[in-house]
Each structure stands twice: as structure tokens, then as C-alpha cells.
Structure 1
Amino acid sequence: MDIESFPLYDIEGDARQCGQQYGRAAGERIDLSLRTYRAAFERVGLSWDRTRALARRFMPVIEAFDAGMLREIEGVAEGAGVPPEDIVALNARSEMLYAFQQLEATEPPDGCTGVVVMPSASREGRLIHAQNWDWRVESLELGIVLRIQPAKGPSMLTFAEAGTLARAGLNSAGIAVTGNFIKADSDGRQQGVPLALIRRGILQSELYANALGVVCRTARSISNNMIVTHAEGEAVSLETCPEQVFWQQPEGGILVHANHFKTPAALARVVDRSLETTPDSLYRDRRVTEALHNRRAEGLLGEQDVLDALQDRFGAPRAVCRSPSAGPGGASSATVATIVMDPAARKMRIAPAPFRAHRFTEYSL
């Protein structure tokens, strides 16, 4: 699976127009996404008919959250020539998969390590926001980059799996977001807005306060850690579970979060089930934090310092930079991409499969 870069698709216009352009341009990858996740749903006991029925239940929730997003999803479906509930299922795949207890027996462990370096600690005086995204190896063939010029609101640049509206990205207002897996015992007990759409809501925000508000006031089905930053020197790690949001801010100009709850309030109030599947999160988080603070003691940090920390191979294959390894059901997981964003310059660089020889491709607004 030799992927040198992820394709870039430019879309513009109102929500339905953006969706139609997206669906037409990325139709082949969307079809591959659907085939990949149809197999994943079947492994947890969900037939495709049942998956579609569950997806339809999310449609009024999405419309109440942001009617434009539902119109865009309908446009993607129209452009790709599939029913709208298929695109909803892709955007709600985490909610629909992780709500099933048998997932751990069939799917590879999720991961991700997020990093922020504040302007005060940065050699260039600009905030650095980066992430290793660990997930199914097949996602290498699903990854895309969308450059979106909506009829209203900020323009957006987002890395995503084909058919979904956002994963990691930034906007023309200087706001950026990444998301990491975490799991609480309360996950799956209520229906909420899919995480992909919450991240898209962050990117649609003109104001940083509004971006944070999208997370804090939106009902969720499952837990997630979202790191939300602003180019002018703001960063917060939001540990979310269905009922609550906990926050962590940078220390010494550095913020790191992997895949377990860290904030004191969360540790006191949440039954953290993340470590059942991602025990490596404990040392990944610590090793990246220590590496960056050690470098910081020698001087200001640059982008390469962050990328070096994200290349750490201790504990391989379950390392910060994860090489392919099989999960319980036989599917393999790995670090699918390293993403590094410069929100002030409105650009991001992405390297597919950083566990082997790789190169970064730059995308900008």
C-alpha cells in the first residue's frame, strides 16, 4: 500500500453544492470507505440494513445540530450515487462501532498522540499543532484533504476519511482541531452528535469561544479528546464523555495528550476504559511530553522537534509511531498519518505511513 500523499479536493458554494462536488470528486474513495466500514460493522454483528436503519436515527439529531451539515451529507450522497444514510454511517462510524462491547474482540486498537507547542516555546514564535493518527491500515487508502470555501463562514482545510466531513484541520480564522480516542464506561448510553460533525462545527467557527462552545454544549454518544487551538496563542485539551467536559491547558508552553483521561477531575469522576485497549497510551504520552520538555530546556522548539518526538519507536509496534500490527480480529492498525499544522500560516503538512520512509505534502488555504 504505497501512498505518497493524500489527494486534495476543492469544494465551494452552499452546503448542498459543497457536498455534491465532494461526492463526485471523491466517489471512488467514498465507495472504498463504504466497503471498508461495511465489513467493520458486520464484524460487530451489524448487517448493512441494520447499519442504515441506525444511521437514519442520527439524521434528525444532525439536522437539529446543524441543518447545513445534513444538506451537505445529502449532497455527498447524491454526488457519490449512494443513499444519504450511507454517508451518515461513515460520519457516525465511531458512535455505531464503539457502542458495541464486542468491538474490542474484532477491531484493532485505536490510538493517536496530539501535541501543541505554544508561541512562547516555539522557535518561530508561532503555535505548532500536530498529531499522529493511529487507526486501521486500510485508512491509508481512504484519506483525503478537503479545502472548503463555503458560501458563509470561514474557509476550511481538513484531513478526513473519504465521505466524512472533518477529522483534523484548521480554518481561515486561525482555529485548529485534532481528535484522540478515549473511552468511558458511560459511552453508548445516549444518542448524540457524531464526533466528525462536532469537529466540523469547530472548523466552521469564526470565534475561538464559539469553537469551544461547540464541544461544551453539544450532546455526544461517546468520549473523545479534542485539542482545540488558535493561531494567536491559545490551546486547550478537552476530555469529553457523554455527560461532561474536562480541560487541560499547556504547561511550560507544551501540551500533549494520547488516549487516556488525564485531568484530575476526570480521574475522580470517570471510569476510564481507554487503557483496556490502549495501555500504551501511558508511555506514549509520557515519552512525548518528556522529549519536548527536554528539548525545550536546551532552547526554543521547532516543527522538527515535534516531528522527532512523534517518531519515537519505544514499545514497537505499539509505539508513538506505530508500525502495522494485527488486532484481535486480524485487522491491522498503524500510524496512518502524521499531521502538523501552522494555524497562523493557514497551512498543514501531512505524511502518510510515517512508520516507514515517508515525505510530507503541504496543503494551504
Structure 2
Amino acid sequence: MVLIVNAFGTPYEHGQQAKDQVLGSISYYGSLFESTCGLDWPSVREEATKYLDTLERLCPEYLEEIRGIAEGAGVTLLDIVALNVRTEINFGLFSQEPKLPIQLDGCTALAIKSGHGPSFLSQNWDWVTRQGQNLIVYTVQRPDTDIPRFTVVTEAGIIGKIGLNESGVGVCLNAIKARGVDHTKWPVHLALRKVLESSSRQSAIDELVSTGLAGSAHLLIADEFGATGLESTAKTVELLPADDQGVVIHSNHLLLNHAGSEESLWLLDSPQRSDRMQQLVTEELSSKQALTASDIFKLFQDEEGYPNGINRDAADDSSAETLFNIIMNLSERTATIAFGRTTNVVERVHVSF
């Protein structure tokens, strides 16, 4: 069963309750960074130090949370900082000739607010099978603050990822491989955390646009009124509005123009997945005014292009598969997380505020 971590007091609880999973995350990313970036763990820690001043400036409370997780898990502060900047390391500092191909991530995300229907935010999260055992469902409540309570599905040790809050703001993530990092900006996973602490989609977007992101990614940010895609590189931020049907779809390549970006289309199936999802959504909306959560889940079961489709499987030369699906109803402040491939669900976790 997936570990449920409730941090209603100190961040120490995350590290203590999820110690085995935190250690598992460190072990996994240690081997990954060695393979894709040529960095051993001491070098990874050295890279992590470059973010300390930025974290102290932008979000000292996050740095304290990271410190608490480290203490609870019995590891160093830099070990946990490294996990929280894993996107910048893996997708911004990749080697020209990595020991292993970076064929790891294949996430497909969908937001839809059509007609008088609810605002849905959803995605399949695909990653290396081994890391699935280190996923946790993490709920954070900060007493005596105006920060909304939120629940996030994340890798143990990482304080921000995919989820929603009690204000009805949610966020999904698509990895994008574009060279370069900027240590003075929001690390991607801490930007995700910032969204989860926001009271509205617009306030989250305003914060991230004003500061920028340290690396490349797509954040699909939504609330009960609709969704906006936020594409970033280390140099640029561009916004992707919903189409005339209230739909935003994204996979793992840049859809917008980013001046000066050096993107590598590392997943050849990424355009096919986004096109396929668009086709499926268009077909559904041709006969329905609005989609249900059940309708959306069926879209994410699609296996066209198997094993590298929307519902990814670990086969051929890839070790990645769909590890979970999440469907958030932001109008009702609820979510269902289905662990495993969408055609072979092993556990469901329901969230409501």
C-alpha cells in the first residue's frame, strides 16, 4: 500500500514517517544522476549548494521544511535539497553522451472545463518502475497561517509535485528536456509547491512568471474556473491558454516558442501522445456537453502506440511505465489517485476537502 503522510505539525514528520522511502529516493537518484549526468553523489550535493541562497531568499520556510525532512530521515540537508532540484539536474545538466538513454518520463496531462461541467485536472505520471515504491501521498496543514491545506502525490523527500488544495487550485507536471539551469529562480518542484499554497490559479501564475523557473518543465495549473499551461526553460516562461472547448493538453515537448532554448526531443512519442489525447477528447466532446471523471479515466487507459502510449508500459528497451493516474475535480475539491497502470490499478486513494 502507498504510504500516507500527514504533516499537521512539523516537517520532521515527513522524514520520520517516510524514512525508508526517502532513503529509496536518494538511492534511486544517485544511480540516475550518475548515468544521465555523469555526477556522483558528492558532486550532486555540490550542485545542490548552488540553490541554498535562492531558497533562503524565495522560500526560507521551504528550506526549513527540507531541513526537518533531512533530520527525520537521518540524512543531510543537501541530500534533500538535491531531491528537490532533481528536475534541474536530470533535465538541465544531462551529458552529451549519457551512459543510459534518458527514456524515462512520459507523462500526459489534460485539463478540461467545458460548458457547465466541473473543472477537471488530470494526468498519467510515468517514471521508472523502481521509483514507484517511493511514492507517497503527502497532506500538509499549517496551523495559524492562511496557507490552504493541500494534498500532493510525490516522491518521498520532495515537498512539491502533483496535487490540489482546499481552495480548489491544482497542478500537474510534464518533464521537458532543455539544456540549462538558473540557480536564482524557482526550482521546478518548489514551484509546484508554491502553486499548491496559492489561493487562485492567477496568483500562482503571477508569482512564477515574475521570478521564473530554474529549469525546463510544463506546469498545468487549474482552478474551478479553468486551466492555464505554464511552459518554462531556464531563460523563458510562456503561457498556454485553454482552447475554445476549455481544454489544455500537454506531454513532454515544448509547444510554444522559447527564444534561445536548446530542447532535445528525447521522447519521440511525445507529439503522438498529445495528438492522440486531443483526438480522444474531441471525439468525446462531439457527443457530450461535458465529461465525467469516469470518461476522463477511460481516456488515460488508451494504449495506441503500445508500449509507449498514453498508458505506458515497461517493455522493449524502456524501464518506465505509468505509475499513477490522478483525476482532480477542482469544482468539488476532490481527487482520485489510481496507482499502477490505468488498465491494472493496484490501489486507489481518494482525497476531499
Alignment TM-score, normalising by the size of structure 1: 0.89
Measured against aligned partners, the alpha-carbon deviations of 1:13-50 in whole angstroms (never above 9, x if no partner) come to 3xxx1x10111111111111111111112223212212
- Equivalent residue number for residue 132 of structure 1: 124
Whole-angstrom distance in 2 between the partners of 1:126 and 1:250: 15
For the structure 1 residues 189 and 100, does the alpha-carbon distance in structure 2 shift closer, same or farther, using more than 3 Å as the test?
farther
Deviations 1:87-139 (A, max 9, x none): 10111112122212247552333221110110526xxx211110011111112
Contact preservation (8 Å) 1:157, 1:364: no
Q: Secondary structure at the match of 1:295?
A: helix
Shift of 1:183: 2.8
SS state of the match for residue 141, structure 2? strand
Corresponding pairs, count: 345
The SS at the match of 2:324 is: strand
Q: Identify unmatched segments of 5+ residues in structure 2.
A: none
In the alignment, is residue 314 of structure 1 matched against residue 301 of structure 2?
A: no
Match of 2:293 in 1: 303
User: Identity of counterpart residues, as a percentage?
Assistant: 28
Q: Secondary structure at the match of 2:221?
A: strand
Deviation at 1:336, TM superposition (A): 1.3
CA distance in 2, matches of 1:195, 1:126: 28
User: 1: CA distance between counterparts of 2:315 and 2:185?
Assistant: 32
Structure (1/2) with the larger helix percentage = 1
Distance in 1, matches of 2:313 and 2:98, equals 19
Does the CA contact (< 8 Å) of 2:182 and 2:214 recur in 1? yes
Q: Deviation per CA, 1:67-86: give whole Å up to 9, x if none.
A: 00000000111111111111
Aligned-partner Cα distance in 2 for 1:55–1:326: 34
Which residue of 274, 292, 296 corresponds with 1:285? Answer: 274
Match of 2:315 among 312, 325, 328: 325
1:245 aligns with 2:245: no
306-315 vs 349-358, which moves further? 349-358
Q: Distance in 2 between matches of 1:31 and 1:184?
A: 28
**Alpha carbons of 1:217 and 1:326: their partners in 2 closer, same or farther (altered >3 Å)?**
farther
The one of 158, 162, 165 equivalent to 2:156 is: 162
Query: Which of 2, 10, 25 is residue 6 of structure 1 equivalent to?
Result: 2
Q: Secondary structure at the match of 2:328?
A: strand
Task: Give the counterpart of 2:324 among 315, 332, 337.
Answer: 337
Residue 362 of structure 1 corresponds to 350
Q: Pick closer, same or farther for the CA change 1:93–1:244 going to 2, 3 Å.
A: same
CA distance in 2, matches of 1:92, 1:58: 8
Aligned counterpart for 2:336 among listed residues 349, 357, 360:
349
Deviations 1:136-181 (A, max 9, x none): 1112101111111113211111110000001101111111001101
2:263 is aligned with what amino acid?
R
| TM-superposition CA deviations, 1:197-223 (whole Å, max 9, x none) | 010011111233221123212243321
Measured in 1, the distance between the counterparts of 2:125 and 2:20 equals 23
Cα gap change, 1:171/1:207 in structure 2, threshold over 3 Å: closer, same or farther? same
Structure 1 residue 253, shift from structure 2 partner: 2.2
Alpha-carbon distance change, 27 to 103 in structure 1, aligned in 2, over 3 angstroms: farther
**Mean alpha-carbon deviation: is it higher for 199-208 or for 352-361?**
352-361
1:46 equivalent to 2:70? Answer: no
**In 2, Cα distance between equivalents of 1:194 and 1:79:** 23
Contact 1:108 / 1:135 at 8 angstroms: preserved in 2?
no
Q: Does 1:66 align with 2:53?
A: no
Q: Is the 8 A contact 1:280 1:318 kept in 2?
A: yes
Structure 1 distance, partners of 2:71, 2:125, is 29
Which whole-Å CA distance do the structure 2 matches of 1:272 and 1:167 have between them?
25
Distance 1:282 1:95 in 2: 23
Question: Distance between the aligned counterparts of 1:360 and 1:323, measured in 2?
Answer: 19
The SS at the match of 1:150 is coil
TM-score, normalised relative to structure 2: 0.92
1:326 and 1:333 in contact (8 A); partners too: no
Q: Against the structure 1 CA distance between its residues 362 and 100, is the aligned structure 2 distance closer, same or farther, given a 3 Å change threshold?
A: same
Tell me how far apart the structure 2 counterparts of residues 207 and 248 of structure 1 sit (CA, whole Å): 17
Could you tell me how far 1:308 is from its partner in structure 2?
1.3
**2:109 corresponding residue in structure 1:** 114
Q: Deviations over 1:302-348 (max 9, x none)?
A: 11221111111111111111001365xxx711111111111232222
Q: Which runs of 5+ in 1 are unaligned?
A: none
3-state DSSP of counterpart to 2:341: coil
